[in-house]
C-alpha cells in the first residue's frame, strides 16, 4: 500500500520539457485504479459483516489478490533498479539490491 501511495508523487516532465512542480498536477498524472484496488485489498475485509468474514470463499477471494500483488513486487523492484542504475556504479546497484532483498524478506 505504501509503495502505491508513494508512486502517486513521482514527478514527470510536462510537454514543455520541464519538470512539473505542482503537486495536484503530479497526483493527477500518476493516480491510477491500482491505488484504490490496493486499498480495497488491504482494508476491504474490515467492511464486511462477521458472517462474510468467516466464509472461506469470500476471504480467500480477497486474499488471492494480495498474493498476486506479492508476485508483482519482483518486477517492480527490477524496474526501479533499471531506472536508477543508469546513473549508478556497480557498487551502488549492489547496495540497492541488498536493500530490496531485505525489503522483500520483511514483506
Predicted pLDDT at 107? 57
Predicted pLDDT at 92? 81
6 found inside a domain: no
Predicted pLDDT at 93? 80
In the three-class reduction of DSSP (H, G, I as helix; E, B as strand; rest coil), residue 89 is classed as coil
11 found inside a domain: no
91 found inside a domain: yes
How many domains does the structure of the chain reveal? 1
Predicted pLDDT at 52? 62
pLDDT along the chain (107 residues), means of 10: 71 80 83 78 70 70 71 77 77 82 69
Classify residue 43 by burial, with Cβ atoms within 10 Å: 0-12, 13-18, 19+: exposed
Predicted pLDDT at 12? 74
Tell me which residue of 22, 60, 20 sits closest to 41, measured CA to CA: 60
Tell me which residue of 96, 101, 68 sits closest to 82, measured CA to CA: 96
Amino acid at each position: 500500500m505504501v509503495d502505491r501511495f508513494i508512486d502517486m508523487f513521482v514527478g514527470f516532465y510536462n510537454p514543455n520539457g520541464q519538470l512539473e512542480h505542482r503537486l495536484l498536477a503530479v497526483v493527477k498524472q500518476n493516480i491510477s485504479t491500482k491505488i484504490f484496488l490496493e486499498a480495497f485489498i488491504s482494508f476491504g475485509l474490515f467492511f464486511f459483516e462477521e458472517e462474510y468474514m468467516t466464509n472461506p470463499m469470500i476471504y480467500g477471494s480477497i486474499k488471492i489478490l494480495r498474493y498476486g500483488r506479492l508476485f508483482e513486487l519482483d518486477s517492480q523492484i527490477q524496474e526501479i533498479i533499471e531506472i536508477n542504475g543508469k546513473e549508478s556504479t556497480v557498487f551502488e546497484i549492489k547496495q540497492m539490491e541488498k536493500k530490496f532483498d531485505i525489503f522483500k524478506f520483511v514483506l
